[in-house]
Amino acid sequence: MSKSVKYLLFMLITAVYSGALSAETVSIKVSKNITSVAEYRLGEPNKPLLIFVHGFLQTRAFSTVDRLLNSLHDGGFPVLAPTLSLGISNRAQALPCESIHLHSLNSDTDELGRWVEWANKRGYKEIVLIGHSAGSVNISAYLAGKIHPAVKKSILISLTHYGPDRPAAF
């Protein structure tokens, strides 16, 4: 294999894995017995922190979330992608729909608020909340309450409607 091919291969591998290598797993205490974990990646200091909330019963490793997270980080944004605990300490796997739910919209919203506080304590004065599917519902519920002043914007992707006037399923 020529030197130039080896160099190109090395550069390709470096580019592919550079985002993963700069990632850090961080955690917060949600309650006495529950710890929530997130993936945190530093970005350019002049850009807002993007907090990305996954969909219903998923994790931050869900493919849609992961692809968007990688693209945004490649654009220089610092990103924080928590896996909401859903009442399970250090949760790392998606849950089946038929599982017993140990969480509520209120507990998920409180947990999101704790991540916002975590980010603000680390110096982030501008935070953008991004939600996918039910993650957008969590963000909407958070925005309906007391909003931390560092939260400047929200982006809601594939917003799911919950409530009594929800159209019947086909």
pLDDT at 148 over 80: yes
Residue with tokens 């999101």: 112
Domains and CATH numbers, the chain: 27-157 (3.40.50.1820)
The per-residue pLDDT for range 118-144, each reduced to its tens digit, is: 999 999 999 999 998 888 888 999 999
Give the Cα separation of 141 and 53 in Å (integer). 13
Give the Cα separation of 123 and 129 in Å (integer). 16
Going through the chain in order, the beta strands assigned E by DSSP cover 23-29, 35-41, 49-53, 79-83, 127-132, 151-157
With 0-12 / 13-18 / 19 or more C-beta atoms within 10 angstroms meaning exposed / middle / buried, residue 101 is exposed
Give the Cα separation of 137 and 129 in Å (integer). 12
State which amino acid sits at residue 68.
L
Model confidence at 60, in pLDDT bands (50, 70, 90)? confident
